[in-house]
Structure 1
């Protein structure tokens, strides 16, 4: 797994049922689970709307951060999600999520965060 100082991007690969990892714009691997620190969450609204309109699937939402090795998900982590029918990543209460101190992308497809932050009110 790359440990580039500028981080990696991870997104759910629905075909492989794993997390795809990109570094420098290229897919460098597929992993069952990954943890990242200093995470920014990005979701393209234009691409989301295009997918809704055309029914196509593409990568338009991902997490970017530094890979963490051997750091288990703490009990206080909050689950978050991304759904095509709503813009952006969301916490369970519906609040938008744009960054977090750390995220855990699990083998079952679930996503968890610690110290969530939102730039939106």
Structure 2
């Protein structure tokens, strides 16, 4: 089966794996995956609804093209937390694009951020 041009990947907390979606449909679950040309997407309205109703849903994901590239030592860890809007780097800056990202079996996420990928807090 050919590799799809672009997939959406999000952490499935129940399965403790990464869910892979193609065209809005989950096609599998993997322990780890690497993506290139990544856009990090999240819905702040859905995040606020999850906080208000105390429910879980999928409202943050990485969209990119699967690759076999190994994670380099200079990759930076990033995370998504329900308590704050968007994907965050260790310094608190937001990131919404990356040249590549690695979603690991232990649930951590790492990226090589693109130039201009960071958005200052309160930005778009």
Query: What's the TM-score bracket when you normalise by the shorter of the two chains?
Result: over 0.9
Shift of 1:4: 1.7
Q: How many matched pairs?
A: 119
1:2/1:8 contact within 8 Å kept? no
Question: Structure 2 residue aligned with 1:76, among 74, 77, 80?
Answer: 74
> What is the aligned-residue RMSD (CA, Å)?
1.4
2:75/2:111 contact within 8 Å kept? yes
Shift of 1:115: 2.5
Aligned to 1:110: 108
Cα distance in 2 between the residues matched to 1:115 and 1:90: 11
5+ long unaligned stretches in structure 1: none
5+ long unaligned stretches in structure 2: none
Question: Structure 2 residue aligned with 1:88, among 86, 93, 103?
Answer: 86
Give every structure 1 segment of 4 or more consecutive aligned residues whose post-TM-superposition deviation is greater than 4 Å: none
TM-score, normalisation: structure 2: 0.91
Aligned to 1:12: 11
TM-score, normalisation: structure 1: 0.94
CA pair 61-2 structure 1, distance change in 2 beyond 3 A = farther
> 1:35-74 counterparts in 2 under 5 A?
35-69=34-68, 71-74=69-72
SS in 1 for 2:82: coil
